[in-house]
Structure 1
Amino acid sequence: MSGPARQVVVVTGASSGIGRGAALAFAARGVSVVLAARSEQALAEVARECEERGGRALAVPTDVSDEAAVQALAQRAADWSGRIDIWVNAAAVWSYGRFEDTPGPVFRQIVETTLLGQVYAARAVLPHFRAEGHGVLINISSLYGRLSSPYVAPYVTAKWGLLGFSEVLRQELRDTPGIAVCTILPGAVDTPIYRHAANYTGRQIRPLPPVTSPERVVAAVLRAADHPQRQIVVGQTHRIGAWVHRFIPALYDRLIGPVVDVCALRSVPAPPHDGTVFDPASPTHTVDDGWRRHDHRLVAKALTLAVGAAALTTATRAVNRRRGQSATSSAASVATHTRAVRRKGNAANR
């Protein structure tokens, strides 16, 4: 891999959130950054900030759900810089609402952006990596690639698919050890994606606490670029949730619905809307969105609810066990009595 100052990095989803933070962090190293997102105005702002931090920047407005546009992005980056060293797939859109309430076109667009956009990127950049003999593809997945919760069916579908896709790429690229595929799995992150999300719940939404800072995810992206790893999980509390989901699925299913209803759905009414799923226009294109300021109250609520539900589950199981034992004991008594009656009857017959 060439030195950091000579590297060329492509970042999709660079207009806000993790993508914007990663672009600025790479630029601070003096690298050349190619910025891709749908909003031309937001990209121009990010490009200016990247150059102020010492990097070179090229803004290429791109809708990653359009495969031809992603191919053009890769070619434009290679023509501008001569090569591509690192590609960060951070583009994603989001919705909140029951599956039955989520319009079909919204579901499709979320999967096409959040999953197929990263698939198209891999198809576009891998020939460049192979030509150079090296490269790092960084897919921003989510712990929603390992677990689930109500109201986010299209996003969970996309992230579970992305995790499997990344696995396959790693297996197929074993013949080119200079090419690495890294997957970043953050929990809830303090970015504007929740403000941008489509919403069909009837209530305003917020990320499920505790919320991770985008800077931690950006640090994981830089670490993957410098020292590629198969997977990097960001957020210890959410890692516990993934463990419960895997090993105690019945308890997870009992807890997750009430926790989401209390901690992710706000009491403020909200009309149904498509957010930025189709239209990138938004007043908020920052890296973070200030959600962490209110986390302490919601974390306390979530913990109280989780402990209460866990205690209820434990008590229910104990009652069921006692009932089962009682039923078994009663059945045994009846069987003993029946055998005694039969023995008396047999003796009388003799």
Structure 2
Amino acid sequence: MSRIERLEGAVVVVTGASGGVGRATAVEFGRRGASVALLARGEAGLEAAAADVRAAGGRALTVPVDVADPHAVEAAAERVVSEWGRIDVWVNCAFSSVFAEFGRIAPEEFRRTTEVTYLGFVYGTMAALRRMRPAGRGVIVQIGSALAYRGIPLQSAYCGAKHAIVGFTESVRTELLHDHSAVAITMVHLPAMNTPQFRWLLSRLPDQAQPVPPIFQPEVAARTIVQAAVRPRRAYWVGASTVKAIIGNRLIPGLLDRYLARTGYASQQTGEPRPADQPANLWEPADRDVDHGAHGPFDDRAKARSAQAWASRNRRALGAAGAAVAAAALGAVGGRAARR
């Protein structure tokens, strides 16, 4: 697989970079000294995110783009190359969706969610590979979710798109392996995150939407995403809740069906009425004129660290340490036996 030797000076593209996980990821790359191209629709959010990247120590380029438009994505990639000469890392993170029962989602809303959340990844991957294959290097990072493996109620459009990304990415990976390509493609699957999406996605829920606890800050995801760019592997899982959801669905999917049917509605709502004038970014960006930042409204409940994510990022070191401890223990046992 390809390796990015150092992030300082690397050219990174992040879609969905104006808010949430995309923004936190762009800032984390900036902190490592990367040049970060921020792709999103909301101009106010983009400009504020670029300022955050520069403050962290990186270079920033804002590129307003709707990732559902393949020609616009291609033009955005071309602009990055014309400005900075190449693309080393491409992070697909942009999405939109609808909080509603399936029967209350209009066909055009489902289509639009799929175009942004699934086809946006397809078009981003196409644009990245057009530059990376000839260069013989590069890493594509797909931002997935526990919901890519375990569907839940009220999010059929999002779950469907995330499931599709897994199948698409696996197919592309096998083609890269067949060609002995040095380009790597990896996935990072996330738990519930404290992002602005719960205040700007189209919602038909009676109450305000919320992530299913436990909730993590977007910086938890960002650290693993940056790690995935430097040490790409097939997939990273962030958070113990992600591990439980994916493994649980493999072992007891029917039981989870019934559990989520019983609990999935209430756990995704705060109990507070949803404002009638809440913005909906499905068709227009919610941060065109107002910056919403990286964090959502759940700072008081969100975790800033994940022991599981840390262990996942450092599994080689932990494995080596475990082997050293085991060897020392065996040596001690052998020494005692020899003295008997």
TM-score norm. by structure 2 comes to 0.83
Aligned match of 1:256: 260
Q: 1:258 to 1:208 in 2, by over 3 A?
A: same
> Residues 117-152 of structure 1, C-alpha deviation per residue, up to 9 Å, x if partnerless?
010011111021012110000010111110111111
Opposite residue 279 of structure 1, the aligned amino acid is E
Q: Which has the higher helix share?
A: 1
Cα shift at 1:74: 0.6
Structure 2 contact 49–293 (Cα < 8 Å) conserved: no
Matched AA of 2:298: W
Q: What is the aligned partner in structure 1 of residue 225 from structure 2? A: 221
Distance 1:292-1:86 versus aligned 2 partners, 3 A rule: same
- Partner residue, 2:75: 72
The one-letter amino acid paired with 1:181 is: I
Equivalences for 1:263-274 in 2 at 5 Å? Answer: 263-270=267-274, 271=276
Q: Is the 8 A contact 1:199 1:274 kept in 2?
A: no
Q: 1:162 aligns with which of 162, 165, 174?
A: 165
Q: Which moved more, 1:41-50 or 1:274-283?
A: 274-283
Determine the C-alpha separation between the residues in 2 that align with 1:227 and 1:180.
10
SS where residue 209 of structure 1 aligns? coil
CA root-mean-square deviation: 1.8
Give the distance between the partners of 1:22 and 1:168, measured in 2 at CA: 26
Match of 1:150 in 2: 153
Give how far 1:240 is off. 1.2
SS of 2:68's partner is: coil
Q: For residue 226 of structure 1, report the CA deviation from its aligned partner.
A: 0.8
Question: By how many angstroms is 1:285 displaced?
Answer: 2.4
- What is the letter of the counterpart of residue 282 of structure 2? V
> Which residue number in structure 1 is paired with residue 320 of structure 2?
none
1:23 counterpart residue number? 26
Partner of 2:333: none
Provide the secondary structure at the position in 2 that maps to 1:275.
coil
Work out whether 1:285 is the aligned partner of 2:285: no
Q: Which moved more, 1:179-188 or 1:278-287?
A: 278-287
Q: Which amino acid aligns with 2:56?
A: R
Q: Deviations over 1:245-288 (max 9, x none)?
A: 22112211111122222221232333497711111024452212
Structure-to-structure mapping, 1:35-46, within 5 angstroms = 35-46=38-49
Equivalent-residue separation in structure 2 for 1:251 and 1:203 (angstroms): 27
1:3-41 CA distance string (max 9 Å, x none): 322210001000001110111111112111111000112
Deviates more, 1:256-265 or 1:107-116: 256-265
Measure, in 1, the Cα distance between the counterparts of 2:191 and 2:27.
Answer: 22
Give 1:295 deviation, angstroms.
6.9
Does the 8 Å contact 1:199/1:272 carry over to 2? no
Using the TM superposition, give the Cα deviation of residue 197 of structure 1 relative to its aligned residue in structure 2, in angstroms.
1.4
Deviates more, 1:95-104 or 1:241-250: 241-250
TM-score calculated relative to the size of structure 1: 0.81
**Percent of aligned pairs sharing the same letter:** 34
Partner amino acid for 1:15? S
Question: What is the distance in 2 between the residues matched to 1:3 and 1:176?
Answer: 23
Aligned counterparts of 1:266 and 1:290: Cα–Cα separation in 2: 11
Cα distance in structure 1, aligned partners of 2:182 and 2:212: 38
Please point out which of 137, 142, 146 is paired with 2:140.
137
Distance 1:292 1:242, change over 3 A: farther
Query: How far apart are the structure 2 equivalents of 1:182 and 1:94?
Result: 23
Number of residue pairs matched?
Answer: 296
**Partner Cα distance (1:176, 1:290) in 2:** 45
Cα distance in 1 for partners of 2:7, 2:208 equals 42
Q: Secondary structure at the match of 1:161?
A: helix
Partner residue in 1 for 2:328:
none
Larger Rg: 1
